[in-house]
Structure 1
Amino acid sequence: MPSRSHLDKFGRKKKKKWTDEAMERALIEVKSGRCTVRQAAKEFGVPKSSLGDRVSGRVAPGSRSGPAQLIPSADEELLVEFSLYMSKHGFPLTKQQLVSFASSIYKRQHRRVAFSKLGQTWWLNFRKRQEKNITIQPADNVVRGRTVCVRKEAVDQFFHLLSTILDGHGLRDKPRQIFNCNELGFQLGRKRVSLPKSASLGYKPAPGSRDHISVLACFNAAGEDIPPFIIYSNAYPGGVCYKTQGPPSALYGWSDSGWINSDLFRKWFLKHFLVHAPKERPLLLIFDGHKSPVNLEVVESARKEDVILLCLPPQCSHILQPLDVGLFVVLKQRFASLIGEGCASDTHFAVSKKEFSGVFKSTYQIAQEEEGVQIVKDGFRKCGIYPVNHFTISETHLMPLHSISAAAGPAMSTAAPGGHMVGELTAAGPSS
């Protein structure tokens, strides 16, 4: 792979020193017969050979110099707009994520190509072309690891963004249009079922011998649900009884880890959430997206369907995730009681992958009852999401910025004036 210094040196050597306007004027003069190719090239300061190519027709007028652009300009503008949208809604893209999204655009244009040609050279050229629109920020490594407290500045920024969105879209008094989705995991063993803490979207546990099942739940601030999405590890159970015994209208899927991934999230959003969500618009969907279950197609569909995606700050699920704070605690207790876990006799019955959906149906029933609806509403209230109340978050959970050691990684570039300090890769232009 060529080094950055090598590419910069190559770029300086090959830099175009003439403008398209000058070439167009020179071409007009030659075609009118007022100048020869040599005279026009000298007068307008353009290369004689390049002008001659356009006069003879070997190169079409208006063609860009250099190798063909891998992604058309219109699609590149879409990529910049996508980056701007993501950074404005709490999903700042890393370099790897942006190249991945660019590769998906490339493959969409070249369906027969197995691998994308986009790599380091494309990235450096993209940065140079879009230096007025994209700014690179240093990586803040402190948000990568587990911390006892979360940054006060991150929480303040989230509530500011939340208030801006609710006021800008008239959602402050519309609880049926404010949703939270989150994932709850279950490990299946031979004699018992252990229920770990609920996981953020995209979390990948360490590989183990036990079957793993997770459930993606989604509720609005009025306590109404989108039917759950049950995700099995490795493969579906045999037969169809797991579907007939499960919660009504539930969606089913599987992944290698038993957790949601980008493809499953796309399936859930496009074929389940949009189908079961209220018809009123806009809708606000709040979730932890820092494990990147979101792809370009989801964002495009969300904007088309007037659904606002809002990402929670990293490591804040225990204070800002309404389902974590409320309903999931009750679901764990209900599931444990159904399988006999925690009883004095210490007797448990084994739950297989086939039987899980039936047991979970009985567990999930509480969400449809008055008690469960109130628990969901209380979760939104305790997190300060609805009604919006920043002061519900206890100061004991917050860590001021000055108390965090300097753990940030090296900056990829200097932040441009006006850039939004929200992550590694942000858009520098105005919000669209």
Structure 2
Amino acid sequence: MKREHFRGYNPSAMSKAYKAVIDDKLPLHSAATSYCVPYETLRYMVAEKIVPACSNLANMPIFTPEEELILMTRLIEMDELGYDLSRQEMANIANDYAIVLAQKTKDCMALSLTWFRNMLRRWPDFKAVSQRAFSVARTKSEYKGIIIKFFNELEKTLLKFDLIDKPHLIYNVDEKVVAICGKDETVTILGCGNAAGSSLPPYFILPGQRMNDKLLDGSPSGTSCSVSKDGWSNSEIFMDFLCNHLKKKCPR
């Protein structure tokens, strides 16, 4: 039997075929034929539990023009303040933004560098900025301007939120990744202190799948802990740190 070749397929049709197999129990061959999608691709997605709507993000604009403008404006502001973000870090910011806007879910495949490069094509000015070389000469020549701009923006923020005379409410957070002796695993420690000189108890991120309160045995009073697959921080864990650690333990 001659095998039919598909030059391409409609992502929406693949989603419908996938749903028909999973929800309606339609046989794979019938679903592939009915929705004109490649049988092998559909079979693979069903077998690996890959939701088509989540897997086809490489070329799809998922933000509205207004949402994309907000994202790019923020990235440009960060660049002007001296943040030396990599392409991957910018793609991660876009991915978190999409989740907040409910344009995708946490279970979907993360936005890739290919997706980010496709978005940059609509922003040629920013593309030029993001690709420029941060040479030693350039860094030295712009360093003073970047520092001045940073502190100008800091002053605006302090005035906006009435924090000029409240050093006890101005916090700095940093993270330190340490290797577990004798194991190929890491632990991340989030440390936090304020401009008045006080510090909060540490927040640990341990490698694992499930949190166990016994992991905190012997730790300083007030210590919090979370787990991630590799012991590294991520945006979800950082939000937990802000809401359930910093917010609850910082003085009012």
How high is the TM-score relative to the length of structure 1?
Answer: 0.35
AA matched with 1:83: L
> Cα gap change, 1:224/1:130 in structure 2, threshold over 3 Å: closer, same or farther?
same
Shift of 1:95: 3.5
The aligned residue for residue 232 of structure 1 is 206
Deviations, residues 237-257 of structure 1 (Å, cap 9, x unaligned)? 8x6344354323221023344
Residue 38 of structure 2 is matched in structure 1 by none
- Given that residues 121 and 127 in structure 2 are in contact (C-alpha distance below 8 angstroms), is that contact kept between their aligned partners in structure 1? no
Q: How does 1:249-398 map to 2 (within 5 A)?
A: 249-279=222-252
Letter in 2 for 1:164: N
Amino acid at match of 2:207: S
Which residue in 1 is equivalent to 2:153?
Answer: 165
Residue 69 of structure 2 is aligned to residue 77 of structure 1: yes
Structure 1 unaligned segments of length 5 or more: list them: 1-66, 143-150, 190-207, 280-432
Q: Is 2:50 the counterpart of 1:86?
A: no
Question: Are residues 119 and 221 of structure 1, via their aligned partners in 2, closer, same or farther at CA, if it must alter by over 3 Å?
Answer: closer
**Which deviations, in whole Å up to 9, do the C-alpha atoms of 1:291-318 show, x marking residues without a partner?**
xxxxxxxxxxxxxxxxxxxxxxxxxxxx
Q: Deviations over 1:300-354 (max 9, x none)?
A: xxxxxxxxxxxxxxxxxxxxxxxxxxxxxxxxxxxxxxxxxxxxxxxxxxxxxxx
Q: Which among 94, 107, 117 is matched to residue 102 of structure 1? A: 94
Correspondence 1:21-32 to 2 at 5 A: none
Deviations 1:150-193 (CA, angstroms, capped at 9, x unpaired): x655764554244313433345654223322223455554xxxx
CA contact under 8 A between 1:183 and 1:217: conserved in structure 2? yes
CA gap of 1:157–1:270, structure 2 versus 1, over 3 A, is: farther
Q: TM-score, normalised by structure 2?
A: 0.54
Partners of 1:113 and 1:259 in 2: CA distance: 18
Higher helix share: 2
- Larger relative contact order, structure 1 or 2 (CA cutoff 8 Å, min sep 6): 1
SS in 2 for 1:225: coil
Instruction: Return the offset for 1:79.
Output: 1.3
Aligned in 2, Cα 1:274/1:154: closer, same or farther, shift over 3 Å? farther
Q: Is the 8 A contact 2:92 2:111 kept in 1?
A: no
Q: Which residue of 2 aligns with 1:179?
A: 171
| Distance across 2 between alignment mates of 1:71 and 1:133 | 17
Taking structure 1 as reference, are residues 135 and 216 closer, same or farther at Cα in structure 2, changes over 3 Å only? same
Change beyond 3 A, Cα 1:74–1:162: closer
Structure 2 CA distance for aligned equivalents of residues 87 and 268 of structure 1: 26
Amino acid at match of 1:272: H
Q: 1:119 to 1:254 in 2, by over 3 A?
A: closer
Counterpart CA distance in 2 for 1:223 and 1:253 is 26
Distance 2:105 2:227 in 1: 26
Q: Which stretches in structure 2 are left out of the alignment for 5+ residues? A: 1-58
Say which SS state the counterpart of residue 97 (structure 1) adopts: helix
Separation of aligned partners in 2, 1:122 and 1:155:
28
Helix, strand or coil: the match of 2:200?
strand
Percent sequence identity is: 22
Q: Are 1:215 and 1:231, in contact at CA under 8 Å, matched by a contact in 2?
A: yes
Which amino acid in 2 is paired with 1:167? E
Count residues in correspondence. Answer: 186
Partner of 1:129: 122
Cα drift, residue 218 of structure 1 = 0.5
Tell me, in whole angstroms, the C-alpha distance in 1 between the residues paired with 2:246 and 2:111: 34
RMSD value over aligned CA atoms? 4.1
Does structure 2 conserve the Cα–Cα contact (< 8 Å) formed by 1:83 and 1:92?
A: no
* 1:76 shift after superposition: 1.1
| Shift of residue 122, structure 1, vs aligned partner | 6.8
- 1:275 is matched by which residue type in structure 2? K
Residue 209, structure 1, aligned to residue 222, structure 2: no
Match of 2:17 in 1: none
- Does the CA-based 8 Å contact 1:106-1:116 persist in structure 2? no
Task: Check whether the contact 1:212–1:232 (CA below 8 A) recurs between aligned residues.
Answer: yes
Is residue 188–residue 212 contact of structure 1 (8 Å, CA) maintained in 2?
A: yes
